[in-house]
């Protein structure tokens, strides 16, 4: 009998949510709202939709394996050379490519908890060793993460802002960390939500790229650009690191519609500005209502809010809200994460929450 290796057998797979339509069918409800996956409630950029419709004529052709036009457009926006950018089937693929490129079996990767679960899954799948550092006051404990590096450390993952807590690390904290992390360790900074950050104290990771540091910055078109269903993310690093990662990247990994939509979305400033405005307004509303209900929450720099609950209560709360047609994300046994939605969605979440014991 063929068996998977032990390090594969013991992986806890990512559990996706069911389609909204299936949940409604099972529960006998209609008109549900999904506030579970940090998607853009405004939908995709209208310019991106137009570009996809036009691009559909060429679906008989393979996509551009180099993402030439998208790479040129993004390089111009970021003011860097195109050879410092690579694209993936979502930033998840870029995490996997970084691990496959730079991690040998038995090597270590450092990450926080709770943070994006994909980091530990991919490292374990590569037979690496996960070094888990608990959050400190809901944020990455960068001082402790730097202290945990050893000669076996190859990667450090930092989600900034962090998923699921929405917290960020400051310029000073990142600067101190980068001074301590030894050479030969790739610092992967996941900035999936960076476009939502309002704090002036947010770290500029592009600075470290300019200094020639071993850093990989991950960003995505899934969040503020509203293209989650197309699965397209990008990584920024030195051309040397990008060259190595491209050696293990599959050809045609980014589909042609995703490329065309992303080029158009980059130029849709009105959509981006409206998304930021709706998110900021929703955040203020939810803060005010949660304060009035005396419900604790973690202030966020992203498009979601992390709400700690009584130990073991997260699944009960998730289930009860689901019965009311409000879909949130349970995070472990003692927290839920709720996406900031449209005004009417935020109000509906609050009304449902008022009926629950937190």
The Cα–Cα gap between 192 and 156 comes to 16
Q: Which helix (H) or strand (E) holds 284?
A: helix 269-292
Task: Collect the ranges in the chain with pLDDT lower than 70.
Answer: 18
pLDDT value of position 5: 86
- Return the CATH fold of 16-43+270-353: 3.90.1150
Q: Mean pLDDT in the chain?
A: 95
| Separation between Cα atoms, residue 309 and residue 328, nearest integer Å | 13
Q: Which residues pair with 234 in a beta bridge?
A: 87, 219
pLDDT of residue 169: 98
**For the domain with range 46-266, which CATH number is right: 3.40.640.10, 3.40.250.10, 3.40.50.11900, 3.40.50.150?**
3.40.640.10
Residue 187 host element (H or E): strand 186-190
For 199-235, write each residue's pLDDT tens digit. Answer: 999 999 999 998 999 999 999 999 999 999 999 999 9
pLDDT at 14: 77
Angle, CA 152 vertex, CA 149 and CA 153 arms, to 5°: 45
What is the number of other CB atoms lying within 10 angstroms of the CB of residue 62? 11
CA distance 83 to 236: 9
Contact predicate 237/217, CB 8 Å: yes
Considering only CA atoms, give the Rg of the chain: 21
Provide the residue ranges of all domains of the chain, joining segments of one domain with +: 16-43+270-353, 46-266
Give the separation between CA 353 and CA 335, rounded to whole angstroms: 14
pTM for the complete prediction? 0.95
């Amino acid at each position: 009998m063929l068996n998977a290796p032990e390090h594969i057998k013991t992986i806890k797979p990512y559990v996706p949510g069911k389609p909204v339509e299936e949940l409604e069918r099972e529960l006998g409800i209609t008109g549900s709202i999904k506030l579970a996956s940090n998607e853009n409630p405004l939908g995709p950029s209208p310019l991106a939709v137009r570009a996809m419709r036009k691009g559909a004529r060429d679906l008989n052709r393979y996509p551009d394996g180099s993402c030439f036009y998208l790479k040129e457009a993004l390089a111009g926006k970021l003011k860097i050379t195109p050879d410092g950018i690579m694209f993936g089937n979502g930033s998840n693929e870029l995490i996997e490519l970084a691990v496959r490129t730079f991690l040998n079996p038995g090597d270590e990767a450092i990450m926080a908890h709770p943070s994006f679960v994909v980091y530990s899954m991919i490292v374990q799948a590569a037979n690496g060793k996960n070094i888990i550092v608990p959050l400190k006051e809901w944020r990455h404990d960068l001082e402790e993460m730097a202290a945990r590096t050893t000669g076996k450390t190859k990667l450090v993952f930092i989600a900034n802002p962090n998923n699921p807590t929405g917290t960020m690390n400051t310029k000073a904290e990142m600067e101190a960390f980068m001074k301590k992390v030894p050479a030969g360790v790739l610092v992967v900074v996941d900035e999936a939500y960076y476009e939502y950050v309002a704090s002036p104290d947010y770290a500029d990771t592009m600075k470290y790229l300019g200094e020639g540091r071993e850093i990989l910055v991950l960003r995505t078109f899934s969040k503020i650009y509203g293209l989650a269903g197309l699965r397209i993310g990008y990584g920024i690093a030195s051309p040397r690191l990008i060259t190595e990662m491209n050696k293990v990247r599959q050809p045609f990994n980014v589909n042609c519609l995703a490329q065309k939509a992303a080029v158009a979305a980059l130029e849709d400033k009105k959509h981006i500005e409206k998304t930021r405005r709706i998110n900021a307004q929703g955040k203020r509303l939810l803060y005010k209502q949660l304060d009035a209900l005396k419900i604790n929450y973690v202030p966020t720099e992203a498009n979601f809010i992390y709400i700690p609950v009584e130990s073991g209560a997260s699944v009960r709360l998730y289930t009860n809200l689901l019965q009311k047609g409000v879909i949130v994300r349970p995070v472990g046994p003692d927290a839920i994460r709720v996406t900031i939605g449209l005004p009417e969605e935020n109000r509906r979440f609050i009304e449902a929450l008022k009926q629950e014991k937190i």
